[in-house]
Amino acid sequence: MELNSGISAAEERYYIASQQQLIWRRFRRHRLALVSVVILIIMYFLAFTYEFWTPYRAVTQHQGFVNTPPTPIHFFDADGNFLGPFVYGLKYELNLDTFERIYTEDTETIHRINFFTRGESYRFWGRIHMDWHFFDAGEGKVFLLGSDQLGRDVFSRILAASRISLTIGLVGVFLSFFLGATLGGISGFYGGMVDIVIMRVTEILSAIPQIPLWIALAAIVPIDWPVTRTYFAITIILSTMTWTGLARAVRAKLLEMREHDYIMAAKIAGASDIRIIYDHLLPGYISFLIVNITIAIPGMILGETALSFLGLGIRPPAVSWGTLLEGAQNISNIALYPWLLTPALFVIATVLLFNFVGDGLRDAADPFKEL
C-alpha cells in the first residue's frame, strides 16, 4: 500500500525506526550470529538449571565404574525388538599387562532410560531440596560422556562446571566494561592532568604480561576460602587487565567527539558531565563497545580455564571447565581416556559462538551498513 506522500509503509517504518530497531533488523540478516545467540541462550539456561538435566550430582562417585567410556544408548535389543531408549549393564575385566579396565556390555541386563523421574536428591542453587531429574537409567549406569578417574559422570560435571565458567565471563566482562568505559570516558572528556594520570596507569598495566600477573594474583587467594569468595576473587583478578584496552579506545573516540555541536548544545542546556558521557558520547561509539564486550567474554572464559587448569583458579569441590581439564594434563590419560578432553570442546564452541555473535553485532551496529 502506498501512502499519500509516495513512500511505502516499509520505507516509512525504516525512516521512523529507532537505532535499536535498525540494529535488530541488520542483526536478523546475519544467520550465523542469530543461530549462535540461540545456542548461547540454551547453554546459559542449561548452566543455570543443570541440577535437573543431569542424571547424577557432580560429586557422586560410582564405585566400580572408574574411567568408564561413554555409554551407548540402544533402542533395539539383540533380537531386533524396539524397546525405546535403554542401556545394557556393564561389566569389566582387568588387563593384567596394562592394568586397564576393559568394559563390555552385558546384553542380558537391560536398564530402560526414564524421563522426568526421581533420582539422587540435590539442592537447587544450594537452597531448594529436589530429587527430580530429566533422565536416568534406574539401577543401571548411563555415562553419556564417560566417567573420570574417581567414577564421576563427566556429562554431569561438565554441565555443573558451565555455571561457573559461563557466568564468570559475564560478571568479569561487565566489571571490566564499567572500568574501561568510565575511566576512558573521564580521561577523554576532561583531558589535562586527569588524562595523563589515567593513561599512565593503563600503560603500566598493559606493559605487564597478563598470564604471569594472573598467576601471581591467583596464588594470593587463600586455599581455605569458600567457593563463592574464590569465585568473585578470580573474577576481579581477570578484570584487572582487560579494561585497559577499552579505556584507551574510548578515550581516543571521546577526544574526537567532545567538540561536536550536539555536545556543546548539551553543555549549554545544563546536562551534567556524567550524563553527557553516558547519554551522548558513548552511544556514538556503541558499535565498538558491543564488539568489545562479545570478544572479551570468551577471553574471560579462557582466562578462568587457564588458571583453573594450572590449579590456581577455581578449586575442588567446585568445578569449572578448567578444573575438569586438569585430568587431561597426563598424556597417558589422553591416550587411554580421550573423553576427558570433552570440556575443551565446550570451551572452543563457546569461544566460537561469542565471536560469531560479535561479528553479527559489529555489522548490525555499523551506521553505514545497508539494510
Cell of 248: 584507551
Question: Rg for the chain (alpha carbons), in Å?
Answer: 26
Phi, psi (degrees; rounded to nearest 5) at 285:
-120, 20
Cell of 92: 569389566
Please state, in angstroms and as integers, the Cα–Cα distance from residue 30 to each residue in 38, 278, 350, following that order: 13, 28, 18
Q: Does 89 have pLDDT greater than 70?
A: yes
Given pLDDT bands bounded at 50, 70 and 90, which one contains residue 1?
very low
The residues near 262 (Cβ < 8 Å, ≥ 6 apart) are 280
Smallest Cα–Cα separation from 57: which of 116, 113, 123, 146? 123
Maximal CA-CA distance, the chain: 89
**What's the pTM value of the predicted model, to 2 decimals?**
0.81
Mean pLDDT of all residues in 300-315:
75
Mean pLDDT check: name the lowest of 2-6, 26-30, 308-312, 328-332.
2-6
Output the pLDDT for position 159.
93
Given pLDDT bands bounded at 50, 70 and 90, which one contains residue 367?
low
Neighbouring-strand partners of residue 90: 105
200 or 295, greater pLDDT: 200
Q: Does 134 have pLDDT greater than 50?
A: yes
Output the pLDDT for position 7.
61
Mean pLDDT check: name the lowest of 72-76, 79-83, 318-322, 328-332.
328-332
Given pLDDT bands bounded at 50, 70 and 90, which one contains residue 307?
confident
- Rounded to 5 degrees, what angle do the CA atoms 329, 332, 334 make? 60
Q: Does 6 have pLDDT greater than 60?
A: no
Q: Are 57 and 122 in contact (CB under 8 A)?
A: yes
196, burial (CB in 10 Å: exposed 0-12, middle 13-18, buried 19+): exposed
Mean pLDDT of all residues in 18-23:
69
For residues 289, 294, 295, 296, the Cα torsion angle rounded to the nearest 10 degrees is 80
Neighbouring-strand partners of residue 106: 89
Smallest Cα–Cα separation from 252: which of 178, 210, 214, 195? 195
